A and B are shown apart, each in its own frame.
Chain A
Amino acid sequence: MTVYRQLVLLGPFFAESRIKSTRYLSIRYKQRNAWSSIRNLSQEHFAAYHASPWRWDQLAHIGYETDLAYTMGTVAKGRPFEAIKSNSTFQELNGFLIQEFIPMPVDSVQVIGHGITYVPTSQTFLPDTTFVFTYNPHAIGEGKE
């Protein structure tokens, strides 16, 4: 029955619960004792897609980062960093950030998970920080074992 629901009755697409809020990741890194400015990864890829609309891979980047932000938000809820650092999703995230965004060598990385919900009545955004990790990326695995 579940398979039937998931595969035959695809959707609903653009359901209310899926469009009310979104998740994204931001990072910064410490190099030679100075923190870089904060980078909003999804916004960078979104801008890159709209500059070159044939670059569907930029949208895949956003999808992947949103997925990592959701999963890490769930995994990290109420748990200390020591319990998180051996988590496979966190190591995958660390490996991905090192490969794609962080210019080595760095001393530390700060990765922040954000949730943002739009409120139509007040036309405001409700921001929510789902996790903040500051760590040495070399001390953490890079996923895939």
Chain B
Amino acid sequence: MPLVKERNRVQAAVQYLVQDFNEPATARLFFRALVSLSFFKIVMLWSFSHSVMHHHNITLPRSWVGKIVLAPSFLANDNVDIFFSISLCFLVVAFFLRPNYVTTALFFWLTFNLYIVYLPFANGADLVLFMLALWCIPIASKPAFKSETGSIIQKTSHNAGIILCQLQVIFIYLVSGWDKLASNAWRSGDAIDYVVHLRNLYNPIFGGMFEDSAIQMALSWLTILFELAFVVLVWFKKTRIPILIIGIFFHLFIWIVMSLPDFALTMIISYILFLKDTDYHRLPARVKRLLLSVVCCPGNSIPGCWHPI
């Protein structure tokens, strides 16, 4: 009997991976959100990158593979304005097209090179962005393979891509939560004391608000508990949406209090992949219309393009 149960579980898992493209609309929304974030960051950092690249030199690798992979970075090294102009044009095209293997692969290539160009002033957000972009490659579902085997492989890679993206986010919380749990400063609440005294990070508007050691201890443990709880609770039907909402507030708090807007935004965008297409039905009508215009081809509201409607 236990053997039959086990076999059914394995069959269900295999069916989940191979039967259909899971959450196609959510996957498209996720990809477009990443593309939009990259576009926004280039616009915001163009002028400063121009100043930095005037003096900063990117060293050319010796291998041909390295030269090809980093070719856009070397274009940026020579002329960052041309690099950013081409990047923005590509991102506009990638946003309007349905995610396909060419655009997702090029998008990963671009985000990797953006990371290299931003390296002198990069933060964790740039690293997270290009790793999420990597797992977007298999998520693409176009062009559709015609053969049955090809179609199964394509569906499996799409579904595996979503799982890999989710695991990437889970590992971020697991590694950070575990490290904090092992740290004396985090367990005692001193870590929050350190953070509120980081003069180039802590928002002065909140000066004095988190100085009390009891509040620091509470914030410290709430952070540890949230990071470790997310790893587990996001997989269960009843706790998935509540933990994602808590996570959004957690990252908005980091954005405002600790002056880390891009990290917060990247992490909030990563939550999209934990949503299901059916969650769409729970949204207010206005938000539905907005999402429809983002996920479907803009200007062309195809009925039923958000599956299943």
CB distance from B140 to the nearest CB of A (A): 21
Do the beta carbons of A64 and B52 come within 8 Å of each other? yes
CB contact between A10 and one of B118, B171, B186 (< 8 Å): that residue: B171
**B198 an interface residue at 8 Å Cβ cutoff?**
yes
CB distance from A18 to the nearest CB of B (A): 9
Q: How far is the CA of A88 from the CA of B57 in the complex (A)?
A: 9
Do the beta carbons of A61 and B48 come within 8 Å of each other? yes
- CB-CB under 8 A for A57 and B45, given A11-B179, A64-B52: yes
Cβ of B184: which chain A residues have Cβ within 8 Å of it?
16
Do the beta carbons of B199 and A120 come within 8 Å of each other? no
Do the beta carbons of A95 and B57 come within 8 Å of each other? no
Do the beta carbons of B180 and A14 come within 8 Å of each other? yes
Total interface residues on B, CB under 8 Å, equals 52
**B51 an interface residue at 8 Å Cβ cutoff?**
yes
**B36 an interface residue at 8 Å Cβ cutoff?**
no
- CB-CB under 8 A for A59 and B197, given A10-B172, A16-B191, A50-B204: no
Q: How far is the CA of A49 from the CA of B198 in the complex (A)?
A: 15
**A34 an interface residue at 8 Å Cβ cutoff?**
no
Do the beta carbons of B186 and A16 come within 8 Å of each other? yes
Give the interface size class of chain A. Answer: 35 or more
- CB-CB under 8 A for A10 and B124, given A56-B261, A60-B45: yes
Q: How far is the CA of A43 from the CA of B198 in the complex (A)?
A: 11
Do the beta carbons of A10 and B199 come within 8 Å of each other? no
CB distance from A138 to the nearest CB of B (A): 15
In the complex, chain A residues 43-62 whose Cβ is within 8 Å of any chain B Cβ: 43, 46, 49-50, 53-57, 59-62
Do the beta carbons of A43 and B200 come within 8 Å of each other? yes
Do the beta carbons of B121 and A13 come within 8 Å of each other? no
In the complex, chain A residues 1-20 whose Cβ is within 8 Å of any chain B Cβ: 7-16, 19-20
Which of chain B's residues has its CB closest to A6's CB? B127
Q: How far is the CA of A14 from the CA of B190 in the complex (A)?
A: 12
CB distance from B246 to the nearest CB of A (A): 17
CB distance from A109 to the nearest CB of B (A): 15
**Contact residues of A: prevailing secondary structure:** helix
Candidate in A12, A24, A67, A142 with the most chain B CB atoms within 10 angstroms: A12
Report A56-84 CB contacts with B as 1/0, cut-off 8 Å.
Answer: 11011111101110000000000000000
- CB-CB under 8 A for A120 and B51, given A9-B175, A59-B261, A143-B57: no
Cβ of A145: which chain B residues have Cβ within 8 Å of it?
57
- CB-CB under 8 A for A118 and B176, given A7-B131, A43-B200, A63-B122: no
Do the beta carbons of A120 and B172 come within 8 Å of each other? no
23 intermolecular pairs with C-beta atoms under 8 Å apart: A7-B127, A10-B131, A11-B172, A13-B172, A13-B176, A16-B191, A19-B185, A19-B195, A22-B198, A24-B199, A46-B200, A50-B204, A50-B205, A55-B44, A57-B48, A59-B259, A60-B49, A63-B122, A67-B120, A88-B57, A92-B57, A99-B54, A144-B54
B residues contacting A by CB (< 8 A) are 41, 44-45, 47-49, 51-57, 118, 120-124, 127-128, 131, 168, 171-172, 175-176, 178-180, 183-186, 190-191, 193-195, 197-201, 203-205, 259-263
A residues contacting B by CB (< 8 A) are 7-16, 19-20, 22, 24, 42-43, 46, 49-50, 53-57, 59-64, 66-68, 88, 91-92, 95-96, 99-100, 116, 118, 120, 125, 142-145
Can you name 7 extra interface pairs (CB under 8 A) apart from A43-B200, A120-B190, A144-B57? A10-B127, A12-B178, A14-B176, A50-B205, A63-B120, A66-B200, A68-B120
